[in-house]
């Protein structure tokens, strides 16, 4: 199943990340997971939040450029080889992974891996067919 992720484009300037996070905090929006990729001029902050539409609105009201993207969230055993198994499934299906990031459940038994493939629907089909547990937005919000 598809999960919505927020991508926030940040100028690589002192205080921009803080401003984005502060805007979400003021709106009582909890960040469940995040990743940031940067260059010398800008960064892309990727966020998993309970209400992506609300977070997008809040960030846009604070002059951020925001995009909603579909990603796949999967549950992986939190032990050596867990991620390797998932990537092996995608590789055997000739699927390209555009980016990936992860976080660990509060219980610490499972890792949650967020994956963006070039074809989200095919990625879901391949992973589901291999028996990989897929998570919904609601699942992520309650972790």
pLDDT in tens, 40-73: 788 999 999 999 999 999 999 999 999 999 999 9
Confidence bin at 142 (pLDDT 50/70/90): confident
DSSP-based three-state secondary structure for 25: helix
Judged against a pLDDT cut of 90, whether residue 87 lies above it is answered with: yes
DSSP-based three-state secondary structure for 74: strand
CA dihedral 92, 3, 110, 108 (to 10 degrees): 150
Confidence bin at 120 (pLDDT 50/70/90): very high
Whether 75 and 127 share a structural domain: yes
Whether 98 and 57 share a structural domain: no
Whether 87 and 33 share a structural domain: no
> 8 phi and psi, to 5 degrees?
-115, 125
Q: What is the CATH number of the domain that holds 122?
A: 3.30.2130.10
Please state, in angstroms and rounded to a whole number, the distance separating the CA atoms of residues 86 and 67: 26
Q: Give the number of other CB atoms < 10 A from CB of residue 103.
A: 16
Q: What is the pLDDT of residue 78?
A: 83
Owning domain of residue 101: 70-142
Please state, in angstroms and rounded to a whole number, the distance separating the CA atoms of residues 88 and 85: 5
What is the number of domains present in the chain?
2
Whether 28 and 76 share a structural domain: no
Whether 43 and 89 share a structural domain: no
Whether 21 and 61 share a structural domain: yes
Going by C-beta distance under 8 Å and a sequence separation of 6 or more, which residues neighbour residue 20? 8, 10, 45, 59, 62, 64
Of the residues 48, 69, 90, the one at which a domain ends: 69
Whether 65 and 92 share a structural domain: no
Q: What is the pLDDT of residue 108?
A: 64
Whether 77 and 133 share a structural domain: yes
Average pLDDT, the chain: 91
Q: What is the pLDDT of residue 130?
A: 96
pLDDT mean over 130-134: 94
């Amino acid at each position: 199943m598809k999960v919505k992720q927020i991508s926030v484009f940040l100028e690589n300037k002192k205080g921009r990340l803080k401003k984005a996070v502060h805007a979400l905090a003021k709106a009582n929006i909890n960040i469940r997971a995040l990743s940031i990729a940067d260059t010398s001029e800008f960064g892309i902050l990727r966020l998993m939040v309970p209400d992506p539409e609300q977070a997008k609105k809040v960030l846009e009201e604070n002059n951020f450029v925001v995009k909603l993207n579909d990603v796949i969230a999967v549950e992986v055993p939190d032990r050596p080889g867990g991620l390797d198994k998932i990537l092996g499934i995608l590789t055997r299906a000739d699927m390209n992974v555009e980016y990936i990031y992860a976080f660990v459940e509060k219980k610490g038994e499972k890792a949650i891996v967020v994956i963006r493939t070039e074809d989200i629907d095919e990625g879901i089909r391949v992973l589901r067919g291999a028996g990989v547990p897929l998570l919904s937005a609601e699942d992520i919000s309650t972790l």
